[in-house]
């Protein structure tokens, strides 16, 4: 739960770096929340409930995605590769799943070692 709250605290922060665990735990929690809200929305007769939640966390999601790309040494603009038909999202998925650069890069120190210190 801390991973989710930490990302929300950095609501619109697009600078710095984010660890793989931070990104994927936030993604997992959002996936679970969307599924639960979709089911609850159908039961209460408001099927757009999950869409409202998705819009609410869109900016934090983009922020953590850009910080994750920074951790791999790529610009946040690399997220736009995902709009290339058929294969773009595969590149972005591989980049998000790859290990971050162990050394300090232009986006800041490695968050893995900074958190341990």
Q: Is the pLDDT of residue 66 over 80?
A: yes
Which residue from 116, 113, 88, 91 is spatially nearest to 100, judged by alpha carbons? 113
Q: Which residue has the higher pLDDT, 46 or 115?
A: 46
| Segment (H or E) for 34 | helix 20-44
Residue 67 is assigned to a structural domain of this protein: yes
Integer Cα distance of 83 and 44 in angstroms: 35
Residue 112 is assigned to a structural domain of this protein: no
Residue 114 is assigned to a structural domain of this protein: no
pLDDT of residue 2: 83
Residue 113 is assigned to a structural domain of this protein: no
pLDDT of residue 116: 54
pLDDT of residue 31: 96
Domain of residue 32 covers 2-107
The count of structural domains within the chain is 1
Residue 117 is assigned to a structural domain of this protein: no
Categorize the per-residue pLDDT at 3 as very low, low, confident or very high, splitting at 50, 70 and 90: confident
Q: Quick one: angle between helices 58-71 and 20-44, nearest 10?
A: 160
- pLDDT tens digits, 71-106: 999 999 999 999 998 899 999 999 999 998 888 889
Residue 99 is assigned to a structural domain of this protein: yes
């Amino acid at each position: 739960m801390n991973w989710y709250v930490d990302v929300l605290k950095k609501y619109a922060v697009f600078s710095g770096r984010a660890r793989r665990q931070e990104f994927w735990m936030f993604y997992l929690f959002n996936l679970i929340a969307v599924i639960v809200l979709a089911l609850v929305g159908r039961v209460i007769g408001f099927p757009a409930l999950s869409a409202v939640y998705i819009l609410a966390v869109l900016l934090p999601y983009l922020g953590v995605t850009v910080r994750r790309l920074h951790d791999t040494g790529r610009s946040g603009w690399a997220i736009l590769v995902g709009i290339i038909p058929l294969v773009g999202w595969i590149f972005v998925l591989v980049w998000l799943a790859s290990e971050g650069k162990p050394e300090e890069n232009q986006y800041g120190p490695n968050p893995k070692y900074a958190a341990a210190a």
